[in-house]
Amino acid sequence: MSLAKLVMAKLLSVFLFMEVIASGFRFGVDGLRMDYYIMTCPFGEQIVKNAVDRALDDDPTLAAALVRMHFHDCFIEDNKAEKDSPGNLSLRGYEVIDDAKNQLEEQCPGVVSCADIIAMAARDAIFWAGGPIYDIPKGRKDGRRSKIEDTINLPFPTFNASELIRAFGQRGFTAQEMVVLSGAHTIGVARCSSFKSRLTGVDPTLDSDFAKTLSKTCSAGDNAEQPFDATRNDFDNLYFNALIRKAGVLFSDQTLLTNAKTRAAVNGYAMNQAMFFLDFQQAMVKMGMVDVKEGGKGEVRHNCRKIN
Ligand code: HEM
């Protein structure tokens, strides 16, 4: 073989190797891809981002609603009509998804799934609120069934750390990933009905002054809202610092500090916001892959509120 040919062959193999590595990044597990819509709906991501930005400029509290919606969408077998079940009653933000979907249907009908829109909207909401920016693989399909019973899969706010570790473990998450995902409670609120059971009797894991704050909130009724931390619309690590002060709102929040298996992670994220952001974005990408439907196993809904 001539030298020129040898060099060419070497270059080719290096090129092929790089291509394999690159495609390994492009094609995530389950055949989802970062650039899934590049040919079929190139402005899809921008359309979602604009819809989210517009909505949040009007009402910053919707950021939390969108992030929670994505969590529920991943953790329950199928999506959307479960919105009528008790665990989902306080879910808001559907109109933001509808708005994005309507525009997408005009630009590229029948292409972008509601599950992808929700995942992108949550990602954009986190960035809007000051959190990390990250790319997510796309190509999810929407479920063909929609059942209220499915919401039973959601963890309860009365769960202790062991129960939370088990619930998330069943979905393939480590205890640390469960803690970092709980950090989403850095934005948003809980209603009194979600934590009032903590206020009867003495709870040694609840700071006594903060217990008074919670009681005061509840004096306005079951639907009264208690922010998870001092900055309800900012994505930061104050949630973890609140846990250290025994000022977690839900029992399922405070238990993360009480339990030896999760305490170190809480302390770590309270001290190091950059580490929280990095681990959070990785765990969110993973969460977005839970029980993903692809290809023929699902459909692209025309209307995100109902199956086709
Ligand atoms: C660890 C187990 C979890 C439990 C038990 C839990 C439970 C809850 C409860 C009870 C509320 C308040 C609902 C209300 O009273 O209206 C809430 C709110 C919220 N949850 Fe979770 N959650 C968990 C994990 C997560 C995860 C993993 C995410 C996202 C990655 C998330 C995102 C949110 C957000 C953003 C809110 C505020 C919603 C708003 O203000 O509209 N949660 N969660």
Residues 142-156 have a mean pLDDT of 71
Pocket test for ligand 1, best of 59, 61, 66, 68 (most atoms within 8 A of CB): 68
Decide whether any atom of ligand 1 lies within 6 Å of the 252 Cβ: yes
Q: Which atom of ligand 1 is nearest to the CA of 192?
A: 15
Check if 72 is active-site.
yes
Question: Distance from the CA of 229 to the center of ligand 1, in angstroms?
Answer: 13
293 in contact with ligand 1, CB cutoff 6 A: no
pLDDT, greater one: 191 or 297: 191
DSSP the chain: --HHHHHHHHHHHHHHHHHHHHHHHHB-GGG-BTTTTTTT-TTHHHHHHHHHHHHHHH-TTHHHHHHHHHHHHHHSSS-SGGGGSGGGTT---HHHHHHHHHHHHHHSTTTS-HHHHHHHHHHHHHHHTT-------B--BB-S---GGGGGGSPPTT--HHHHHHHHHTTT--HHHHHHHHGGGGSSEEEGGGTGGGGSS--TTS-HHHHHHHHHHHTT-TT-EEESSS-TT--SSHHHHHHHTT--SSHHHHHHHHSHHHHHHHHHHHH-HHHHHHHHHHHHHHHTTTT-B-GGGSB--SSTTS--
For atom 35 of ligand 1, the residue with the nearest CA is 64
Residue 155 Cβ contacting ligand 1 at under 6 Å: yes
Average pLDDT over residues 149-153: 60
Instruction: Provide mean pLDDT across the span 241-264.
Output: 98
CATH of 161-287, one of 1.10.420.10, 1.20.1260.10, 3.40.50.300, 3.30.499.10: 1.10.420.10
Least confident interval from 82-91, 254-263, 272-281:
82-91
| pLDDT beyond 70 at 198 | yes
